[in-house]
């Protein structure tokens, strides 16, 4: 349904160039980021007690086109088993059109992503930690913060994501299975899906902004899968934000300035930029950071880090979407 090779080519061709940086400075940034991933993950392990037996590995530093190609490959690996290949004479045309559209989205995001752990990326599709050097340099310049401090702070967040998926052995397959259920359900919607959508319009009108378009397009079964994925994503992002700020004061001297300026920067952009961010779900992701960090902080304050780590025991101990909003309910369920 998506020509991922074309998506990668389109995105890499259309992505905007990064900031003009002298060669020496660019090489120093690349070296810094690669080495700081090892330093950062050591700090994250010490705080979280996750992955203490795993090897400490450097991250991969890429430019914007490199991130586009990696993201397209990871998405292909993640959705490939759920999305059927288009047959018939129009199959390649439809897949190509979807590939071009996806490439446009990737090109937009490629100028904003600082780093990413892709559980399905890399040459062997076994996972890859990426840092997008031009975006990191552009951000630290725009915020006027110390380069090494900011780079380490970013690495703390992304290395937390890597540990989530490498130390919690079942998480990668669970995430892939849930995505497969959701995508397969959407791809296999029957001819009555339009009638179902019309039938759900009154609910959407009643809830207003509380219900977004993605949720409106789902059946109750798909909504349940969507809720589990949203709760998981909120947990992962919030946990990483909590960790980077908890570790930060000990190893990042300017962490308070960085956090304040970075939070303000997340909300910035012109009208067109904000519209695109809303359509692509970027603003919703920012809310995930905040909600997930509040959940994590509440639980850690209540039962400590070891008590919080009960979330990683099995899929049954993950918080529900309702428990993300009411962390005390999760604490009662697991520790009451």
Residue 208 has pLDDT above 60, yes or no: no
User: What pLDDT sits at residue 77?
Assistant: 87
Segment 294-314 shows an average pLDDT of 97
Phi (first) and psi of residue 21, to 5 degrees: -130, 130
Segment 232-241 shows an average pLDDT of 92
User: What pLDDT sits at residue 206?
Assistant: 45
Residue 97 has pLDDT above 90, yes or no: no
Residues ≥6 apart with Cβ < 8 Å to 288: 230, 233, 234, 237, 238
User: What pLDDT sits at residue 286?
Assistant: 66
User: What pLDDT sits at residue 200?
Assistant: 44
| Winning range, highest mean pLDDT, from 121-125, 160-164, 214-218 | 160-164
Residue 108 has pLDDT above 70, yes or no: yes
For residue 115, the SS3 value is strand
Instruction: State percent of the chain over pLDDT 90.
Output: 57
Cβ proximity of 335 and 301 under 8 Å: no
Dihedral, 131, 286, 178, 329 alpha carbons, nearest 10: 130
Cβ proximity of 47 and 152 under 8 Å: no
Residue 193 has pLDDT above 50, yes or no: no
Q: Is 73 exposed, middle or buried (CB count within 10 Å of its CB: 0-12, 13-18, 19+)? A: buried
Segment 27-53 shows an average pLDDT of 96
Residue 296 has pLDDT above 50, yes or no: yes
Q: How confident is the model at residue 281 (pLDDT cuts 50, 70, 90)?
A: low
Lowest-confidence pick of 10-14, 17-21, 313-317: 17-21
Rounded Cα distance between 19 and 90, Å, is: 41
The pLDDT tens digits of the residues spanning 263-272 come to 887 765 554 4
Segment 253-276 shows an average pLDDT of 73
User: What pLDDT sits at residue 299?
Assistant: 98
Residues ≥6 apart with Cβ < 8 Å to 248: 153, 156, 255, 258, 259
User: What pLDDT sits at residue 122?
Assistant: 85
> Model-level pTM?
0.85
Rounded Cα distance between 297 and 327, Å, is: 9
Rounded Cα distance between 39 and 30, Å, is: 15
| Winning range, highest mean pLDDT, from 187-196, 232-241, 271-280 | 232-241
Instruction: State percent of the chain over pLDDT 70.
Output: 80
Domain residues of the chain, as ranges? Answer: 4-188+219-335
The pLDDT tens digits of the residues spanning 144-192 come to 999 999 999 999 999 999 999 999 999 999 999 998 887 777 665 544 4
């Amino acid at each position: 349904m998506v020509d991922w090779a074309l998506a990668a080519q389109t995105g890499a061709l259309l992505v905007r160039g990064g900031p003009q940086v002298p060669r020496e400075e660019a090489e120093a940034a690349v070296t810094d980021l690669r080495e700081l991933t090892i330093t950062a993950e050591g700090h994250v392990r010490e705080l979280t007690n996750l992955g203490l037996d795993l090897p400490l590995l450097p991250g991969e530093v890429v430019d914007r086109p490199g991130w586009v190609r990696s993201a397209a490959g990871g998405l292909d690996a993640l959705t490939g088993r759920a999305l059927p290949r288009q047959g018939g004479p129009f199959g390649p045309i439809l897949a190509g059109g979807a590939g071009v559209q996806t490439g446009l989205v990737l090109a937009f995001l490629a100028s904003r992503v600082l780093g990413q752990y892709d559980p399905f990326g890399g040459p062997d599709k076994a996972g890859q930690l990426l840092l997008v050097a031009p975006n990191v340099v552009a951000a630290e310049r725009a915020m006027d913060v110390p380069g090494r401090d900011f780079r380490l702070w970013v690495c703390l967040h992304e290395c937390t994501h890597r540990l989530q998926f490498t130390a919690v052995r079942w998480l990668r397959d669970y995430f892939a299975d849930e995505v497969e259920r959701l995508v397969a359900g959407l791809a296999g919607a029957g001819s009555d899906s339009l009638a179902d959508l019309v039938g759900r319009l009154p609910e959407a009108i009643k809830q207003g902004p509380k219900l977004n378009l993605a949720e409106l397009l789902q059946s109750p079964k798909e909504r349940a899968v969507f809720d589990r994925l949203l709760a998981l994503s909120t947990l992962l992002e919030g946990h990483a934000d909590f960790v980077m700020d908890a570790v930060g004061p000990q190893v990042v001297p300017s962490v308070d300035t960085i956090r304040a300026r970075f939070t303000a920067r997340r909300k910035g952009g012109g009208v067109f930029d904000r519209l695109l961010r809303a359509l692509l779900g970027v603003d919703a992701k920012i809310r995930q950071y905040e909600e997930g960090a509040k959940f994590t902080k509440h639980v850690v304050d209540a039962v400590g880090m070891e008590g919080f780590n009960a979330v990683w025991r099995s899929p049954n101990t993950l918080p529900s979407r309702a428990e993300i909003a009411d962390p005390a309910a999760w604490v009662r369920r697991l520790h009451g």
